[in-house]
Homo-oligomer: A and B are copies of this chain.
């Protein structure tokens, strides 16, 4: 069974879908890996290392894709999917990020082209699937980089410093939303010596916040039923969000850096910082909005831009994991390797829909959209 790793199509993308260590593991399991020439270069992995690991280097995309059963890439939606589709042939399987809940049309396009689609966002949040969870990998990187970006733009040093020029107070950092990204942001800001507080509407987050040395902020607003069975924060009513925003303003007014991470799969991100709240923040404060790509947790965020409003700097990073291409490729590639080791059986993809993981990630199969959530979103019976 041939697996194709193509050079990423997304503009400026520096990552690659498999690293040489992944190739070793997969070839030992009997798979053939074709890597498009130079695919790993920007992530620090040159063609020679892929060859040493057992891969075949393909001169171009066409050669990489020829007779491949499975095609691996980071971006399998939008312009990148449109660019890739003409190169794919019926019966091939595409494994990629597809943002399927926000854009189920990608699944329809794949079905129409007879391509079997595997959307990595749909890996279920169960213990057995953790090692395949690309969203967690990306969130780990995003949380770490958010803390660094906050420190870089802060008008204060993060650590307390006792210098000959007096004592510098540590910076105050506040994390809103404590999933994988939020916890990693807490841990990194703490490593740097900041005073770190965090908030999440899920009461279970309290222990997690404490576990990384940060202080949980309580707003004394009752919330019920805040966590989905999948462990995501559940969407709240408009009334609850308004109360939460009001109580939050005082907390925000004290911070030097705020990192927001609240996302709801397939939906626009909730607004956690309104313009009115921002106006009460310290001039010179910094907001890092990790939900920028899904509309932003701050009303003034612009994805991929840095905005200064009322003295507050609002940064909305895009494709953040790609800023750490080496380690991000390692994590993504290891996630994919673990998924492939589950799905490949006797030289073929084993479409065993009794397996929760395989069933959940498959968006299209044999010309049909097969995932029930996507069928519903697409208005299919």
Residues of A whose CB lies within 8 Å of any CB of B are 14, 41-44, 46, 130-131, 133, 136-137, 140-141, 144-145, 148-149, 151-152, 154-157, 159, 161, 163-166, 168, 188, 191-193, 282-284, 323-327, 330-332, 334-335, 338
Residue of B nearest to A336 (CB): B165
Q: Are B44 and A154 in contact (CB under 8 A)?
A: no
Query: Which residues does chain B contribute within 8 Å of A165, judged by CB atoms?
Result: 131, 133, 136-137, 330-332, 334-335, 338
Query: Which residues does chain B contribute within 8 Å of A157, judged by CB atoms?
Result: 141, 144, 324, 327
A187 to B335, CA, bound (A): 33
Most buried by B among A44, A145, A155, A282: A155
Query: Which residues does chain B contribute within 8 Å of A130, judged by CB atoms?
Result: 164
Copies in the complex: 2
A188 to B273, CA, bound (A): 31
8 chain-A/chain-B pairs, Cβ below 8 angstroms: A41-B283, A44-B283, A137-B163, A141-B157, A148-B151, A165-B334, A166-B331, A191-B191
Query: Which residues does chain B contribute within 8 Å of A42, judged by CB atoms?
Result: 284
Q: Are A159 and B191 in contact (CB under 8 A)?
A: yes
A141 to B157, CA, bound (A): 8
Query: Which residues does chain B contribute within 8 Å of A133, judged by CB atoms?
Result: 164-165
Most buried by B among A46, A136, A191: A191
6 nearest CB pairs, A to B: A155-B326, A165-B331, A130-B164, A44-B284, A165-B334, A166-B334
Q: Are B141 and A324 in contact (CB under 8 A)?
A: no
Residue of B nearest to A159 (CB): B191
Most buried by B among A145, A326, A334: A326
Query: Which residues does chain B contribute within 8 Å of A164, judged by CB atoms?
Result: 130-131, 133, 136-137
**Taking the nearest CB of chain B, how far is it from the CB of A98, in angstroms?**
19
**Taking the nearest CB of chain B, how far is it from the CB of A169, in angstroms?**
9
Residue of B nearest to A188 (CB): B192
Known contacts A42-B284, A154-B324, A157-B327, then 19 further A-B pairs from the complex at CB < 8 Å, ordered by chain A residue: A43-B284, A44-B284, A130-B164, A144-B157, A148-B148, A148-B151, A148-B152, A152-B152, A155-B327, A156-B326, A157-B324, A163-B331, A165-B331, A166-B330, A166-B331, A188-B192, A191-B193, A284-B325, A284-B326
**Taking the nearest CB of chain B, how far is it from the CB of A235, in angstroms?**
26
